[in-house]
Structure 1
């Protein structure tokens, strides 16, 4: 008999939420049904903790949420932090040396604040959307006094080339990704959604075979492939690397909700 899924992990953007829209009533209903059956539900997202907390506030999630590309795990109600990976000072040394030779706009995230090397209308609006205070650095060496979880370098000409440069110069000692076309994200080497999900599963004492996960991007693939069942949510705007994962329809067509309903009908969710 197939094991039931005890934990469901959703990416947020493009998976349970369309751009600039709220989480759909269909997803909210499906999550509620899963929780009633005893399945824990969480999100694993590249968003900051405060940004993710705002998006999922009406979902009543029953497990800690994983944010900052897997580098942070906390309770979405109490704020209690279970796991956090900050960028070590010796790695900051290497990054600061690189940053002093570029003119890009750079964002440095703690749990609740965003520090920057320059203020613009864009990052003012961005920080408000992410429910975080935006603070101008007087001196980049102030970063040593902060617990920096993520650094985002804005790359107008494209982030992938810059991400490769950072990865090469730091000899693979950091988690570096071009998460969006113009966003190069830099985090602790133990970041990544797969690592975040592994840590959460350990905290909850849930076997990977009992985990169902949903995502829509290349950032999600390692998490989906590690899960007992990883499901790609179709997204016409994203070109995925080759994979052998299960698929469901897009969020526009309520794909994740329909997939969960099928599992509920098959009695595959719950304790």
Structure 2
């Protein structure tokens, strides 16, 4: 099931008229108001609520840098939602939100920047990448955690393979897919947790520029998810190629 970007005419009109300014620096109220716009690209907004399951592990591991990719699908809602959860832990962190530049109009990009600024969550850093791989090569970002906001099974794997290709994933890096309905749990975790020979065969079959890294070994570090909770994995080894 591939998500589709929602219509944001009402959303943008509220921004243009400054109707949301009274919510500045109040992310809880801002998120509650955004929910009323019904712009979710998924049929079940409870997906986002299950981001709470990340918090106990975040508190235990205290990653200094978290990266969320694919938040263009909900115009930054998941980015602000996650940033608000992590902010309440009082643990220092930076949350990098990487957006696909070409999936958004100029107005969409301005909207996202405005909402992040409006939230007052200074730990959030917004990046618009015209080409994800090139962007990360020329603008290196360290990430202890890499979270892929579900778009489609194919796109999710492409993002993961890109993270591997630019060597952003190293032993110790935590990787997970978030906001994904149970029926979409297919090739992503098969690839992530698959044996090296499986990953190498799959990468050769898929081909393309983003080859991924067949020699990265991942293990589950959290197995408490239910219908929507993300499965957290950690890269534990890098085999000699």
Q: Which has the higher contact order (CA 8 A, sep 6+)?
A: 1
Kindly indicate which of the two structures has a greater share of residues assigned to helix: 2
TM-score interval, smaller chain: 0.3 to 0.5
**Higher Cα Rg: structure 1 or 2?**
1
Kindly indicate which of the two structures has a greater share of residues assigned to strand: 1
TM-score by length of 2: 0.38
